[in-house]
Amino acid sequence: MTMKDHEIYVLLTDTGTVLNRTIKWFTKDPLNHASIAFDRKLTDVYSFGRKTQNNPFFAGFVKEDMSWELFKHATCEVYCCKVSTQVYNNIRNQILDMERNHAQYKYNLIGMLALLLNVEIKRDHAYFCSQFVASVFEKNGIHLINKSSLFATPGDLVNAPDLQLIYKGKLRHYIKPTRMAFKRTRTA
């Protein structure tokens, strides 16, 4: 039996932007952006989304900065997935490789439209946020949803049996105490 002694976090957010509200209108999900984090305090957060705060159309693979104004008033849910050392290392290496080669990756707007039309279109090196999260886990043997990652929505991730909800509320209320607790333990 494999020990599950590592944690990977899935962050779902609602930033309230025009694009977020548009996606919410189609999905009917309260939270419409998904990201992966490797630490409880959300310092290493990865997704497919906007590359700059002010332009949602310049998008692709991103390491997200939770201090951005974009996230200042965001509501969120933070989920934890316990994984083995091997799965943790595989997922981390996969994402770090994507970060090194970020220019190869594109935001999958065509895939989002295909999702709305229930048409399967697979594109190499192109993801939308929830597709990215579901496919990274799927590639490593953890099927968060019971359908293809091409059709993954943030709402599907909420119901994933391998994800345990650890926080629900304002993102800023989660980040500040978590980072403060981390600072206290490091200086103690």
Domains of the chain and any CATH numbers: 6-187 (3.90.1720.10)
In whole angstroms, what is the distance from residue 49 CA to residue 154 CA? 13
Q: How confident is the model at residue 65 (pLDDT cuts 50, 70, 90)?
A: confident
Beta bridge pairs of residue 11: 35, 78
pLDDT of residue 188: 44
Q: Residue 24: what pLDDT?
A: 73
Confidence band of 52 (pLDDT split at 50, 70, 90) = low
Would the pLDDT of 166 be above 50? yes
* Residue 178 vs residue 141, higher pLDDT: 141
Question: Residues 26, 93: contact at Cβ < 8 Å?
Answer: no
Check whether 18 has a pLDDT greater than 70. Answer: no
Tell me the per-residue pLDDT of 95-123, one tens digit each, with 9 for 90 and over: 999 999 999 999 998 898 898 889 999 99
Nearest one of 96, 105, 13 to 51, comparing CA atoms: 105
Burial 29-48 (b: 16+ CB within 10 A, else e): bebbbbbbbbebbbebbbbb
CB of 130 within 8 A of CB of 156? yes
Strand ranges across the sheet with 75-83: 55-64, 45-52, 33-37, 6-14, 75-83, 164-170
pLDDT at 29 over 90: no
